[in-house]
Amino acid sequence: MSARVIVLAGPSGAGKTRLANRLGLPVLRLDDFYKDGNDPSAPRILTGANAGMVDWDHPDSWHKQQALIAVLSLCQNGSTEVPYYDISHDRRAGSHLFELGGAALFVAEGIFAHEIALTLREAGVVAGAFCITQSPTRVFWRRLWRDIREHRKPIPVLVSRGRVLKRRQQQLVQEAVRKGCAAASPSEAMVAIRPLLALASARRR
């Protein structure tokens, strides 16, 4: 393998993307592997204010196998074709070639990243795997303001969805830990990742 991956999982709004951007590494956005909103295999919310809508927080709303193949291809070949996903319209809007540019380390981040962490470990390509988490209340507000700013969904949908996710957050973190990720705040994960960055930099020199 020519490259290894740092897996960043965790609740939406916990700070995965901000942390990934601070690392100075190529970043594969695993949320771009969502299914289209009209995909008949996408799970639906059955009860509550958002009943009938696609449950975007269920892993079956995501192309797990496609994401796994993309990460493994990057590790082996240094490049892969990845989709662009338009969250506001619930569909893919094209694709592009994602290249590591010779980097020996890259980040794969997304709310379902833990779903492929064990398989990646078995393949021997994981440099580190973390579930990024903060207090449920902090995550709720971070996610809400971001989603409003980006016009992702109508505000009533965002609020009701956010309340459900707040209640489920600890369950999600526990699931990620069971699947091979270490629970950590953004600052704790940064401390753990710095030695990996230093090692990758030394190897390039």
Which two structure tokens, joined as six digits, stand for 172? Answer: 């999600």
User: Amino acid identity of 189?
Assistant: A
> In angstroms, what CA-CA distances link 47 with 50, 54, 161?
7, 12, 12
Within 10 A of 84 (CB to CB), how many other CB atoms are there? Answer: 12
pLDDT of 202 higher than 70: no
pLDDT (0 to 100) of residue 143:
87
pLDDT at 122: 95
Mean pLDDT of 158-179: 90
C-alpha to C-alpha distance for 168 and 175, rounded to whole angstroms? 11
Question: Domain span at residue 163?
Answer: 4-204
Structural domains in the chain (count) = 1
Collect all residues with Cβ–Cβ distance below 8 Å to 123 and sequence separation of at least 6. Answer: 72, 75
What pLDDT is stored for residue 201 in this prediction? Answer: 73
Q: At residue 205, does pLDDT exceed 80?
A: no
Compute the distance between CA of residue 202 and CA of residue 186 in angstroms, rounded to an integer: 24
Mean predicted lDDT score pLDDT of the chain:
92
Q: How far is CA 145 from CA 58, 153, 158, 161, in A?
A: 22, 12, 10, 13
Range from 50-54, 91-95, 144-148, 197-201 that averages highest in pLDDT: 91-95
Cα-based torsion angle of the residue sequence 35, 40, 46, 52 in order, rounded to the nearest 10 degrees: 90
Summarize pLDDT for 169-192 with one digit per residue, the tens: 999 999 999 999 999 999 999 999
- 109 half-sphere exposure, CB direction, 13 A CA radius: 24
Residue 102 has pLDDT above 60, yes or no: yes
Question: For the chain, what percent of residues have pLDDT higher than 90?
Answer: 72
pTM of the predicted model as reported, rounded to 2 decimal places: 0.89
> What does the pLDDT look like over 79-99, one tens digit per residue?
999 999 998 888 999 999 999
Q: What integer pLDDT is reported at residue 45 of this predicted model?
A: 87
- CATH at 122: 3.40.50.300
